[in-house]
Structure 1
Amino acid sequence: MTLQRRLPVPALAVVAVLAVLPFGGAVSVGLSVAFVAMGLPAAIAAWFLVTDRRPVPASLILLGLALGIVTSLIAAAGGVNPGDAITRVVVAFIALGYAVGLAMAYRPGFERLGLDLLVVMGGCVGAYALSGAGALQAAAGGWVVDGRLTGPFSQPNELGIFCAGLLPVAVTCLVTAGSRLRTALLAAATLAIVLAWVLSMSRGAWIGGCVALVVLAVAVPRSRRLLLRAAAVAVATCGLALALPPGTPLLGILGIRLRSMGDTGANEYDARPLIWGEAWRQIADRPWFGVGPDGYRVAATDSLSTVSAYGADHAHDLYLSVLVERGVIGMTAGVVVLLGCLVAARRHLLAQASAPDEEGAVLSARSLAVLAGLLAIAVHGVFDMPLWNPIVYGFTWTLLGMAVVAEIVPLVRPAPAGTPPAPTPQQEARTPS
Structure 2
Amino acid sequence: MDVLIAGGGIAGLEALLGLREVAGERVRLTLVAPDPDFTYRPMAVAEPFAVGQAKRVPLTEIAAGAEIITDAVVGVDDAAGQVRLEGGGTRAFDALLIAAGAHAIEGVEGATTWWPGGDSEAFGGLLRDVEEGYSKRLAIVIPPGAVWPLPAYELAIMTAGEAREQGHDDVRITVVTPERTPLSIFGPDVSTAVAEELERAGVQLITGAVATRAEGGGLTLQPSGDRLDVQRVVAIPRLIGPAIEGLAADDEGFLLTGEDGRVQGTERVWAAGDGIDSPVKFGGLATHQARVAIAGIAKLAGVEDDLDPGEAVLEGRLLLGSRQTRRLHGAGDHDGAPLWWPQGKVSGSFLPRWLAEHDFAPPASAVPAPDEGIEVRRPVRALAEEAQQLFDIRRQYRIADPDIAALGRRMRALQSRPR
Q: TM-score, normalised by structure 1?
A: 0.31
Q: TM-score, normalised by structure 2?
A: 0.32
Q: Which has the higher contact order (CA 8 A, sep 6+)?
A: 1
Larger fraction in strand: 2
Greater gyration radius: 1
